[in-house]
Structure 1
């Protein structure tokens, strides 16, 4: 027994040297289970001894500590000092700053080359068909000042071309007699008034025609109205749509984005460039920002969302024909009155319905009223006295 105890102690020492970080109880367990092969009695004694010193189940903190100890005490991983970590971080920062510096240099060089080319192209003097230099107001200036002055002039020209309408008169002059000039000008927005754009992954962009648009265009066609489509959409989008929407040619003129005035991020329809009497101009639109210069000429409709049960254009055609039939001198007075309603067309329809009810009630009253005797009777209709 004493000999086996000495063997056990030697196993504890050996295991502690080979496996650092393990407690003696672990080494005793290892020694006890290794002695099981030689003697069962020895196993029972050492088992009792190891059970007395067996540790409890390790907690999460003990596991983390043991992992850290293994990482630190691993002879295959060289130790890292705080100075080495700072050195590596500084190297990464230096490489990032160097890449950013080269990027800025490349960007600056590209911008400088493009800027110099733009100054040269926009600032060089004009030449005639023979290649001779054309004199202008900048020809007497120094060379560099000439180039910069011409460049600023060209930049301002392109800026005006984007912001202002492309021409002073958007429509031609009214035709004289005996040609027929419609008395009123009807300006229509295309998007969400006549058609509704719709996009899907399967079909892409498609434009849905509003219910009743064919009958509406026929109602307001010349000679009652001069129909104009005025929209902020580009012409390459508008013209194919109008070709399919108006095969009969009821729309006389088409004005697109280049005819608008760009103000505060909005394309505004400037009616002063329309070359028409504003007392006779009616604009149908849903966006108040597009007509901020002339809000009195606007009949604002609710925006059409593409629903199939819409009947707005039917009532709108009746409303416009009523204005033409009454020969209103200044349409802005009528439009201002209906602007107080959220839906002017529905308000007009409701007033029309009430007027018809009043007329029917009056006719019914006249029919139900008994005829009155006439106090005057012609002489030749009086009965003869005997």
Structure 2
């Protein structure tokens, strides 16, 4: 800042000296300024330091007299004094600025520590109140405490143990399915009960979620959904939606997908088993043993292998659909499932095990279908007596 205001001391001396030499002369002359003052050179610019003899032109007729040199010396002294005063003021300002900065840092650190302390006090207080509230015994209709296994213990100990029990019960309620019997019993005669149960995930199987800044969440319908539900609905399959989505999100989607009512039952996130995975988040596992159905006749279609880890033999894993409008997977899947139902397979798990040895089970089924169609088109041959099984849709028979 000082350098920008006073510039170079030697140049200021040159400028002020030229103002006091005012006698006109046609030819300019060079005059010499002594440069023995070491302080002056420390306060001068780099250009003046390299040029130890400072010269300037004057419009006067002759060299400046003693009075001019004396005036120049006085000006130099005044400039040096001004420079020293400016430097002292700037040093004081820098010191005050440094003190203010340190004071501000200490003040900010104090505020931060106070904020942390208040948060700790709030958390501890909230925890104490929560433990006390969870540790209270239940009450009957008259408002009297109900005796339990902790009633005979000291009040403090009983409160802690009762709170711990209630916390574990809440955790189990979140992690475990809402009921161990998710579907009602099969319909008795004379009502018709479809022989097979088809369990479907809707997210990335029947619909794909998309999010936009303007529209928010939207769900794209997979090509062939209407045909699939029509072909795989009753009377061949009892269609059940079993999704990890919450009910308030999935319910309107199902209503839009199935206006004809092919889907008979709907199970949502609360019917899944939650398992923590890593520090953040977890997975929702679908337990088919809670469906109250014969697992020999249950087929579960999903894209997430973790969701059906408890019953991998009943599952048919598809590739996750991400919005491809030329996709024909549901059409091929409907043909495959109808072939199983029409064939009257006793245990669908054997059929699924056979096709899971291929990378793409549906493509393998289509290839088998083409091979059998080609065999039927051949001219009939003499029947041969054979005790071996012949290849069919579902392996060897």
Secondary structure of the residue aligned to 2:199 is strand
Alignment of 1:1-386 (within 5 A): 22-23=9-10, 27-28=13-14, 30-32=16-18, 34-35=20-21, 37-41=22-26, 44-45=28-29, 48-49=30-31, 58=46, 74=86, 77=89, 79-80=91-92, 91-263=103-275, 264=277, 265-360=282-377, 362-363=378-379
| Contact 1:29 1:50 (8 Å CA) reproduced | no
Secondary structure of the residue aligned to 2:307 is helix
Q: Distance in 2 between matches of 1:105 and 1:230?
A: 47
Cα 1:295–1:244 shift into 2, 3 Å: same
C-alpha displacement at 1:298, in angstroms? 1.1
Cα 1:29–1:152 shift into 2, 3 Å: closer
| Contact 2:175 2:273 (8 Å CA) reproduced | yes
Secondary structure of the residue aligned to 2:9 is coil
- Unaligned residue ranges in structure 2 (runs of 5+): 1-5, 36-40, 51-81, 382-397
Cα 1:84–1:194 shift into 2, 3 Å: same
TM-score calculated relative to the size of structure 2: 0.75
C-alpha displacement at 1:79, in angstroms? 2.6
Q: Distance in 2 between matches of 1:131 and 1:216?
A: 56
| Contact 1:72 1:79 (8 Å CA) reproduced | no
Alignment correspondent of 2:73: none
Pick the structure with more helix per residue: 1
Pick the structure with more strand per residue: 2
Cα 1:22–1:57 shift into 2, 3 Å: closer
| Contact 2:8 2:45 (8 Å CA) reproduced | no
Q: Distance in 2 between matches of 1:100 and 1:318?
A: 66
CA RMSD of aligned residues (A): 3.3
Q: Distance in 1 between matches of 2:84 and 2:24?
A: 39
TM-score calculated relative to the size of structure 1: 0.77
- Unaligned residue ranges in structure 1 (runs of 5+): 1-18, 63-69, 367-386
C-alpha displacement at 1:51, in angstroms? 11
Secondary structure of the residue aligned to 1:288 is coil
Q: Distance in 2 between matches of 1:289 and 1:71?
A: 79
Q: Distance in 2 between matches of 1:72 and 1:176?
A: 108
Write out per-residue CA displacement over residues 217-236 of structure 1, whole angstroms, 9 at most, x where no aligned residue: 11111221111101100000
Q: Distance in 2 between matches of 1:26 and 1:81?
A: 25
Aligned length: 334
